[in-house]
Amino acid sequence: MQDKLVALVTGANQGIGLQIAKELTEHGYTVLVGSRSLEKGENAAQNIGADAHAVQLDVTDSDSIAAAAERIRSEFGRLDVLVNNAAISHAGEPGRSLEEMMNSSKASTASLDEVRAVFETNVFGVIAVTQAMLPLLRDAPAARIVNVSSGVGSLTLNSDPAFPYRAGFGVVYAASKTALNAVTLSFAIELESTNIKVNAASPGFTSTALNNFQGTETVEQGARNPIRVALETDGPTGAFTGPNGPLPW
């Protein structure tokens, strides 16, 4: 087992995941850059530096997940932080506007195939990766699981007519983040007597490929809250936070 702390970030070849991976290396971590495409992961790791290593990881593929877990155990011997960042906003062609994504997400007309595809990555993928990495995390002295969520998944916020993003609360992306929050709390409750803290962290409305770069925050700004939660060894468990503090479930 190596002495340096080890973090795995899924979907880390671009966007917020890439920024999180970069900043974790700056905090002294060996960072495993999870990427569906090994080539893209290797390019990202090379750009980050010597403390970053690409790991082929498709969160929707059980064989890929199992292989990644085995490689981490055999090559690095430990895992201290898991950042479940990989996510998709829709299953259609790239370049959709926010309006198009909102329209395709309406409960009355949404494609069930698209709902399934988004949940496969954003919800089921998180469960599968977390389950596979738990044996490694249980061996760490102070492990953290950070699920990158979104304020648009908050049922409390969306039940308020004054919430500015309420019109976009559909059954595709937003509902997948609501489900992710439930998954986060479920793991946190089960693991609250262990060495593992489990939290949901929203980056805010960040400009990435997820929203066709229509967000208002930079990736540097978006990475701040997930990084803070990932580094907090003495922080809470079962919490949901955003850039400005706690968020309601």
Q: Please compute the mean of the pLDDT values over residues 162-185 and round it to a whole number.
A: 95
More confident residue, 207 or 44: 44
User: In this predicted model, what pLDDT tens digit does every residue of 108-163 receive, in sequence order?
Assistant: 999 999 999 999 999 999 999 999 999 999 999 999 999 999 999 999 999 999 99
pLDDT at site 216: 52
Query: Does the structural domain 6-246 have CATH classification 3.30.9.10?
Result: no
Handedness of CA 52, 53, 54, 59 (dihedral sign): negative
Catalytic one among 22, 29, 177, 197? 177
CA-to-CA distance for 26 and 24, rounded, in angstroms?
5
Residue with tokens 């494609």: 111
Is residue 170 scored above 50 in pLDDT? yes
177 among known catalytic residues: yes
> What residues pair up with 241 in beta bridges, in sequence order?
201, 246
Contact call for residues 172 and 185 (beta carbons, < 8 A): no
Measured distance CA(228)–CA(240) in Å, rounded: 13
pLDDT band at residue 213 using 50, 70 and 90 as cut-offs: very low
The residue with greater pLDDT, 214 or 176, is: 176
Give the pLDDT score at 218: 77
Q: Which of 40, 106, 165, 173 is catalytic?
A: 173
Q: What is the pLDDT of residue 207?
A: 44
- 220, two tokens: 């540097």
What pLDDT digit, counting tens, does each position of 48-90 carry?
Answer: 999 999 999 999 999 999 999 999 999 999 999 999 999 998 8
Tell me the average pLDDT of the chain.
Answer: 92
Catalytic (active site) residue 40: no
Task: Show the beta-strand stretches assigned E in the chain.
Answer: 6-9, 30-35, 52-56, 81-84, 143-148, 196-201, 240-242, 245-246
pLDDT value, residue 206: 58
Quote the CA–CA distance of 119 and 180 in Å, as a whole number: 9
Rounded distance between C-alpha atoms, residue 42 and residue 39, angstroms: 5
The whole-number pLDDT of residue 68 equals 98
Consecutive H or E run containing 23: helix 15-26
Q: 105 pLDDT band (50/70/90 cuts)?
A: confident
Residue 168 has pLDDT above 50, yes or no: yes
The pLDDT score that the predictor gives to residue 89 is 85
Give the end-to-end CA distance of the chain in Å, rounded to a whole number: 38
CA 62 centroid distance within chain: 18
User: What residue segments make up the domains of the chain, in order of their start?
Assistant: 6-246
